[in-house]
Amino acid sequence: MISLEEVERRYANVRAAMDQAGVNAIIVAGSEYTGFEGAVTYMSGFQIVHRYAYVLLPREDEPSIVFPSEARYVGEHGTSWIEDQVFVDHPGAWLAERLAGKRVGVYGLDYVMTVRDYAALEGKVELVPFDWEFDLARAVKSDVELESVRESVRINTDGFWSFLEAYAPGCTAAEALAPAEELFVERGCGRLTMNMVLVGAEFAIARAETVLGDFCVPSLEIAGPGGHWVEVSRAIGTPNAEIERMRDAYEEYFEAAKAALRPGATAHDAHRAVSKGFVDRGWQLGHVTGHSIGMTMIEFPKIGEGVETELRENMVFSMHPHAIAENGRDCLYMQDTWLVTAEGGEPLAGLPMRIFDGTESRPTG
């Protein structure tokens, strides 16, 4: 369990955002869908393993964590530091009664909150989308969080090396990915993994029985024991000529990000700097250049066009420019997790930005 000081820091930052938005309370929604449970964990210490849960944080009073009683067991309730643990048949009705007439921010209003709970709240409570405000309140990581991030990166990077050692043309996707998955379980990731093997020019997701050819990308996205998600991937094998050119642009992006991901720059500035090499070569970008990442897999702000959010020291971003050739098929997608420091961006995985040929050896020490 994290320290009381860290809990108070999180609540103080969120309550400051509540003041700016003029809301009386916030509801933080989480569900068992991988990557959408982390906001509840961030606010309570509780990890959802079944169904869904809400954290209610009033502006002044103590928080509550609310569970649907239809599934009494939704995780280890004792892991939450919140004392007021509520089990009710209809969480939305309970929240509506508690918050009637108030202006309430909701994290997860568009994607996470259940329809029945929204219907119970609508008309009785003034609901305000609060995803952006909540994510900005937790975007700057504490020292405690950064150690969790670094541990997740260490685990994920070791997972990449395990995949690389198992991979060879002719093996199946399951055979290549299994050692990495075993490592993730051993190192405490639990259910918090979302890993796949991408194959072919359009990067289809390989099925377990898919026989791998001479080029693939293991897309490894995990959260370690501390619950912080990270993303690390490199392409492996022999690329065609167009993807070989994309590799050159990736190397340019990697160097540009070291200068661009600095305090005071905007997310728009960073996007323009790291995407320049791809755009100048005439390729489209098929995915956001990057996004904040934490105890939820994808958080605001994104690194993208027109996003004027100012970067701050100790923000953490997943960066993954997705270059797509003019033919609409050839593409390249490699990921890394970056830390914004006073000196600029720091790539945390320690992997060179290159396409690996499969002969490389895992570093020792």
Check whether residue 130 and residue 155 sit in a common domain. Answer: no
Average pLDDT value for residue range 237-255: 93
Check whether residue 199 and residue 54 sit in a common domain. Answer: no
State whether the Cα torsion 34-334-284-212 is positive or negative. Answer: negative
Task: Kindly state whether residue 365 falls inside one of the protein's structural domains.
Answer: no
Check whether residue 192 and residue 131 sit in a common domain. Answer: no
306-338 in b/e form (b: 16+ CB < 10 A) is: ebebebeebbbbbbbbbbbbeeeebbbbbbbbb
Residues 168 and 148 sit within 8 Å (Cβ to Cβ): no
Residue 70 pLDDT > 90:
no
Confidence of residue 33 (pLDDT cuts 50, 70, 90): confident
Tell me the pTM: 0.94
Average pLDDT value for residue range 101-124: 96
Check whether residue 26 and residue 156 sit in a common domain. Answer: no
Output the pLDDT for position 365: 64
Check whether residue 20 and residue 121 sit in a common domain. Answer: yes
Lowest mean pLDDT among 68-77, 100-109, 273-282: 68-77
Task: Residue 153: give the domain boundaries.
Answer: 143-347
Please report, for the chain, how many H helices and E strands are present, in that order: 9, 19
Check whether residue 262 and residue 287 sit in a common domain. Answer: yes
CA distance 287 to 340: 21
Average pLDDT value for residue range 40-55: 93
DSSP annotation of 357: -
325-364 per-position pLDDT tens digit: 888 888 899 999 999 999 999 999 999 999 999 899 888 8
Check whether residue 100 and residue 169 sit in a common domain. Answer: no
Check whether residue 134 and residue 164 sit in a common domain. Answer: no
Check whether residue 168 and residue 70 sit in a common domain. Answer: no
Domain count, the chain: 2
Residue 202 pLDDT > 70:
no
Q: Which residue, 111, 89, 131, is CA-closest to 36?
A: 111
Output the pLDDT for position 3: 95
Check whether residue 283 and residue 339 sit in a common domain. Answer: yes
Residue 289 pLDDT > 70:
yes
Check whether residue 86 and residue 226 sit in a common domain. Answer: no
105-125 in b/e form (b: 16+ CB < 10 A) is: bbbbbeebbbeebeebbeebb
